[in-house]
Amino acid sequence: MRSSWFLLCAVAVGAAVFGLSRLVQSEYFFFAGYVVLQYIVLATAWNILGGYTGYVNFGSAAFFAIGAYASVAIYKLRTLSGVVAIDDHVLFEIPKALLVWLSDLPIPVLIVIGGMIAGLVGLGTGYLTLRLRGAFFAIATLALAVVVQTLITNWDYVGGSRGAYILRPASAPLVGNYIEYLFLIMLSLAVIAVAAARAIETSRLGYGFATIRDDELAAEASGVPTLKLKLIATTLSGAFMGMAGAPLPYYVTYLDPASGFSLAYAVNSIAMPLVGGTTTWVGPLVGAILLGTIQQIATVTISSAVNLLIVGLILIAFVIIAPNGLVGLVQGWFRKKDT
Amino acid sequence: MADTLLEVDDLTKRFGGFVALDNVSLSVAQGDRVGLIGPNGSGKSTLVNCICGTLHNEGGSVRFNGAPVDGMKTHERTWLGMARSFQLPRPFTSMSVKDNLRIPLIYTVDARAKSRLTQAELDDRCAELLTLVGLEDKAQKMPRDLTQVEMRKLELARAMAAEPKLLIADEAMAGLSHSEVTDIVALLIRLNERGVTIIMIEHIMTAVMSFSQRLIVLVSGRKIADGAPQQVIQDPDVVRAYLGQ
């Protein structure tokens, strides 16, 4: 199926999901649905680098938080005076009205900005770390997460360690209810992320990514510009993670480094593709829906603290029973049936 | 004399204190069939890796088709027309045999021509290459389903898919039976007849002697002989290197 047709189908499915969701008369459903959709974007983004090229990124939370804090930084523009001065010498003044207007940018624009910043950080990270392979690359991305968290924790403008409050507008465009609006935005982003992942996978770029995962030396010898492709992967992956994080401050209304850089984002963004299967776009989608839903159910029935325990146990089970994820399990079953 | 395709001048490569290549110089003319031999650890694979850009040499230079390639990345050298097969086959394991051949076509041939091959052209070229190496009925198989000799043929076909001027076959016959070795030698000669210059690195002397028009011997990172195969194998230094004092 052509990518444009797939995008149309994905949009149709997204529209159907939103239509059906509105039949459910529960605000909690939209709260929980937002989290599952956010994980679809995060897992799909992780898979572009980790699944397609085989470079495991432990720093997902950093890219996600960069998107979230980009939104906070823009929101906080309203608190600035607009005067730019050095030693009491005024260089220029930004009109206060402009700052207030900027601080009220709609969420889709914040998503684009968050994605661009996180994408640039991804590109920079790639330049610094992609000569490393395997565990060394993974450790470097973990270090990146620590560095970014330390910077944010010490950046007073975005609230530092005490966090920042965001006041949501009273009503939202299109649907009126703000939570439904956030759900719709995250649903749209999930559709775009999944369609983009599939388009990459079936393109020449996707073939190039797969050669890097299979054998980087052989890929280079076949003429694949591996460094360039890896930089594209880190940029795209980082950008989508940042996009997933950008609406977060408006969802939680209070953001501090502990929640923005939560271990849950790093663990889930890896566990979901691994459970679903890392070599295709379907894997992260299935893994995120499965694990995300289980976690939401566990939150309301058992405890929110048990979430990561469940993820850990499922991950261990899959590593033993289905190391190639659910998709690999099904593919293997069909292969056996054919032979 | 035919035009020189590859010129290696005073190539030196060290790993810490160990000198793997010590001022190695050689040149290969277009259309040549060159055998490169030497005991284990003599620096053959290091030389190949330096020529192809997998390793960077500390001293000396490599010129390909008249232009220096020092500092170029491996894929850039592949785009210029260098291709190699690996000592241990390194197929793209998640792809079918045919898709393995598509990679050099879409990344090297397209980059060189600065245009894209159509799907039909890609299919035609893959089919042609598979027929050339005798894997036409394995196109949709995965590499894990191939035998050892088929894997070696896939390795050579993938190198050929990049439409190289120079093919370096690094121990393409290791671990094969006598008939399979004969099969691969015949294949390499067929490739050479299509105009591809070939450097064959090999331990199997019957294969080296039947293939090579010229023989180069490396010992402890130094070139000790270079000439016609029958003369080289009688060279006292070569005999000493292989049989001892």
Give tens-digit pLDDT for A189-241: 999 999 999 999 999 999 999 999 999 999 999 999 999 999 999 999 999 99
- As a whole number of angstroms, the distance between CA B157 and CA B151 comes to 10
Contact status, residue A79 vs residue A160, Cβ threshold 8 Å: no
Q: B52: helix, coil or strand?
A: helix
Question: What is the pLDDT of chain B when averaged over all its residues?
Answer: 91
A219 chain-B contacts, CB cut-off 8 A: 92, 103
Interchain CB distance below 8 Å, B86 and A224:
no
Which residues pair with residue B14 across a beta bridge? B19
- B2 band by pLDDT with thresholds 50, 70 and 90: low
Query: What residue of B is the nearest CA neighbor of A204?
Result: B106
pLDDT value of residue B245? 59
A224 chain-B contacts, CB cut-off 8 A: 75, 103, 107
In this complex, the residue of B79, B90, B103 whose CB is nearest that of residue A207 is B103
**Paired tokens of B186:** 């015949």
Contact status, residue A38 vs residue A295, Cβ threshold 8 Å: no
Indicate the domain borders of chain A.
3-261
Interchain CB distance below 8 Å, A217 and B94:
no
Question: Which residue has tokens 């010498």?
Answer: A89
The answer to whether residue B170 sits within a structural domain is yes
The answer to whether residue B86 sits within a structural domain is yes
Interchain CB distance below 8 Å, B162 and A223:
yes
Q: A2 vs chain B: nearest CA distance in angstroms?
A: 14
- A175 band by pLDDT with thresholds 50, 70 and 90: confident
Interchain CB distance below 8 Å, A214 and B92:
yes
> Which tens digit of pLDDT belongs to each residue from A77-130?
988 887 888 877 888 888 888 998 998 899 999 999 999 999 999 999 998 887
Interface of B with A in 39-58 (CB under 8 A): 52-54
Contact status, residue B188 vs residue B17, Cβ threshold 8 Å: no
Interchain CB distance below 8 Å, A218 and B92:
yes
Give the closest residue to A217 by CA, choosing from B64, B89, B122, B14. Answer: B89
pLDDT value of residue A64? 96
Interface of A with B (CB under 8 A): 204, 207-208, 210-211, 213-215, 217-227, 279
Interchain CB distance below 8 Å, A223 and B104:
yes
- B237 band by pLDDT with thresholds 50, 70 and 90: confident
In this complex, the residue of B86, B99, B103 whose CB is nearest that of residue A224 is B103
pLDDT value of residue A335? 79
The answer to whether residue B154 sits within a structural domain is no
B115 chain-A contacts, CB cut-off 8 A: none
With an 8 Å Cβ cutoff, is B240 touching chain A?
A: no
| pLDDT higher than threshold 80 for residue A25 | no
* CATH number of the domain where residue B13 is located: 3.40.50.300
pLDDT value of residue A298? 87
Question: Which residue has tokens 């775009």?
Answer: A192
In this complex, the residue of A213, A217, A224 whose CB is nearest that of residue B107 is A224
Torsions phi, psi of B32, nearest 5?
-65, 155
Overall number of domains in chain B: 1
Question: Residue A13, CB half-sphere, CA atoms under 13 Å: how many?
Answer: 12
**Paired tokens of B162:** 């990049």
Interchain CB distance below 8 Å, A223 and B107:
yes
Average pLDDT of span B49-69 = 93
Give the closest residue to B27 by CA, choosing from B60, B3, B48, B57. Answer: B3
Interchain CB distance below 8 Å, B106 and A213:
no
Q: A39 vs chain B: nearest CA distance in angstroms?
A: 27
- As a whole number of angstroms, the distance between CA B71 and CA B62 comes to 10
Question: What is the pLDDT of chain A when averaged over all its residues?
Answer: 91
The DSSP result for A54-75, as a single string, is ----S-HHHHHHHHHHHHHHHH
Query: Residue B156 is which amino acid?
Result: L
Question: Which residue has tokens 């052509």?
Answer: A2
Q: Give the ipTM of the model, two decimals please.
A: 0.90
A204 chain-B contacts, CB cut-off 8 A: 106-107
Average pLDDT of span A124-144 = 88
DSSP 8-state secondary structure symbol assigned to residue B56: -
What is the gyration radius of the CA atoms in chain B, in angstroms? 18
| pLDDT higher than threshold 70 for residue B1 | no
Give the closest residue to A3 by CA, choosing from A261, A289, A205. Answer: A205
pLDDT value of residue B180? 86
- As a whole number of angstroms, the distance between CA B245 and CA B239 comes to 9
With an 8 Å Cβ cutoff, is B115 touching chain A?
A: no
Average pLDDT of span B122-138 = 92
Q: Containing domain of residue B188, as a range?
A: 4-90+162-243
| pLDDT higher than threshold 70 for residue A67 | yes
pLDDT value of residue B40? 87
User: CA-based angle A13:A1:A108, to the nearest 5?
Assistant: 45
The answer to whether residue B58 sits within a structural domain is yes
> Which tens digit of pLDDT belongs to each residue from B140-186?
999 999 998 899 999 999 999 999 999 999 988 888 888 888 988 99
Question: Which residue has tokens 């159907």?
Answer: A16
Average pLDDT of span B33-54 = 93
The answer to whether residue B117 sits within a structural domain is no
In this complex, the residue of B54, B74, B106 whose CB is nearest that of residue A207 is B106
A-B Cβ pairs (cutoff 8 Å, strict):
77
A208 chain-B contacts, CB cut-off 8 A: 103, 107
The answer to whether residue B143 sits within a structural domain is no
Q: A210 vs chain B: nearest CA distance in angstroms?
A: 8
Candidates B73, B92, B98, B101, partner chain A, best to mutate (most A CBs within 10 A): B92
In this complex, the residue of B53, B94, B161 whose CB is nearest that of residue A214 is B94
CA dist A256 to A142, A178, B67, B239, Å? 19, 21, 57, 75
- As a whole number of angstroms, the distance between CA A177 and CA A110 comes to 19
pLDDT over 90 for what percent of chain B?
71
B106 chain-A contacts, CB cut-off 8 A: 204, 207
The answer to whether residue B205 sits within a structural domain is yes
The answer to whether residue B22 sits within a structural domain is yes
Count of helices and strands (H, E) across chain A = 16, 4
CB contact burial B161-200 (16+ within 10 A = b; e otherwise): bbbbbbbbbbbbbbebeeebbebbbebbeebbeeebbbbb
Give the closest residue to A73 by CA, choosing from A48, A94, A103. Answer: A103
pLDDT value of residue A323? 86
Contact status, residue B113 vs residue B61, Cβ threshold 8 Å: no
